[in-house]
Amino acid sequence: RKEVEQDPGPFNVPEGATVAFNCTYSNSASQSFFWYRQDCRKEPKLLMSVYSSGNEDGRFTAQLNRASQYISLLIRDSKLSDSATYLCVVNTYSGAGSYQLTFGKGTKLSVIP
């Protein structure tokens, strides 16, 4: 089973739509969770952390379900500038007091005028 699994998409949505991405992770010992955004031919950039209580940043809402080992990202009122690949990222203890990030392969979003 893959460690972090995402639907690769692409998700093609009209401007103004609401779109949701899901992600599952296999390691129940995972400690913290993130969504990264990666534009075409650019580096990944941290979009937001994901907390157990859920968190919101403007039009973006992230949710975590530890029991189901499931993470989600909701984007409301999609903008053309939201077009990118969204990477689900999990931080897991790797021994000797350290943690390591594991990246999903990403979900591609295209927002259409």
Q: Which residues here bind another protein, judged by CB under 8 A?
A: 31-32, 34, 36, 41-46, 49, 87, 89, 91, 93, 97-101, 103-106
Residue number with CB closer to another protein (17 or 101): 101
Please tell me the distance from the alpha carbon of residue 59 to that of residue 57, in angstroms, as a whole number: 6
3-state secondary structure 59-107: CEEEEEECCCCEEEEEECCCCHHHCEEEEEEEEEEEECCEEEEEECCCE
CA-angle at 29, arms to 31 and 86, nearest 5°: 55
Closest to another protein by CB, 29 or 113: 29
Nearer to another protein by Cβ, of 42 and 59: the residue is 42
Which residues neighbour 47 within 8 Å (Cβ) at sequence distance 6 or greater? 34, 35, 36, 37, 60, 73, 86
Query: Considering the complex, what minimum distance in angstroms separates the CB of residue 46 from another protein?
Result: 5
Q: Which is nearer to another protein, 12 or 31 (CB)?
A: 31
Q: How far is the CB of 5 from another protein (least distance, A)?
A: 11
Shortest Cβ 91–another protein spacing (Å)? 5
CB of 20 to another protein, least distance (A): 21
